[in-house]
Amino acid sequence: MTSPHTLTQTSRQRSFGGWQDVYQHHSDVLACDMNFAVYLPPQAEAQSCPVVYWLSGLTCTEQNFITKAGAQQYAAQHGLIIVAPDTSPRGCKLPGEDDSYDFGSSAGFYLNATQEPWAQHYRMYDYVVTELPGAIAANFPIRETHQGIMGHSMGGYGALMIALRNPGRFKSVSAFAPIVAPPQVPWGKKAFSNYLGSTLSDWLAYDPTHLVKTAPERLPILIDQGDADSFLKEQLQPELFAAACQAVNHPLTLRMQPGYDHSYYFIASFMGDHLAHHAATLVP
């Protein structure tokens, strides 16, 4: 069987002096082939560089970020490698996998499913935390001690959750319009009940608002949220995470951006700020 570290390049474009690549590899963790994108800044031709992982939201693949976020110009300025995986396993042919936009395909929620038929394939937590970084370290000039993580919506939730569950692993974290309390909102309830079952403790293990209360590391968090986001009140509720951070004095910068919605227009507007936030810690 092909190693997860064996990559096949499927596209390459020159961008801001660097290269925007897309690769395919076989994932043993997910038991399927997966695509991911890597932006290599011009600095990577001569030296190892810090790496930032981007996690996308519902309905997305790696393509949404690399074509709409405008991240390449800022990554080139700061000398950051950016890795953007897909949002779920693909082609597993599970019953109900493609029935809705907020569960199954494109909606892996960056957790390890325990319920059938999802448990064999839907293990995005292990993929993002272990398998994909192993493939990146084996193939690209990254500085393994200088890693950041960020994301949008479901991916913003994933970035916060993964950073909080892995103290010392990441030096920077940020999110755009994250789902901060999945057990309390419809998107999270649907995904968690189907992937994880009905045990509340299993849900809380992936809940950023719960995890931050006992986080052993005070990693500063940057969140941008549009106040015209149609999902703000029902699905996102950033005030819940802000209150949890305040209760334990966890450093959080939550910026409510007037007039912005949930789209990539919003993400592109503040991408420069977010990559500057990461570079401030990651770049020597």
Q: Catalogue the active-site residues.
A: 153, 229, 262
Please tell me what DSSP assigns to residue 129.
I
Distance (Å) of CA 225 to CA 116, 152, 177, 266: 35, 10, 5, 9
Q: What is the dihedral of CA 241, 246, 248, 250, to 10 degrees?
A: 80
Strand, helix or coil for residue 15? strand
Whose CA is closest to 126, among 206, 29, 7, 191?
29
* Integer Cα distance of 185 and 181 in angstroms: 7
Distance (Å) of CA 205 to CA 192, 221, 244: 11, 19, 15
Q: How many helices (H) and strands (E) does the chain have?
A: 10, 9
Please tell me what DSSP assigns to residue 124.
H
Half-sphere exposure of 252 (CA within 13 A, CB side): 27
* Integer Cα distance of 151 and 53 in angstroms: 8
Cα 43–49–52 angle (5° rounding)? 120
Please tell me what DSSP assigns to residue 213.
G
- Tokens describing residue 48: 């190892």
> At 75, which amino acid appears?
A
* Integer Cα distance of 210 and 236 in angstroms: 15
* Integer Cα distance of 33 and 92 in angstroms: 10
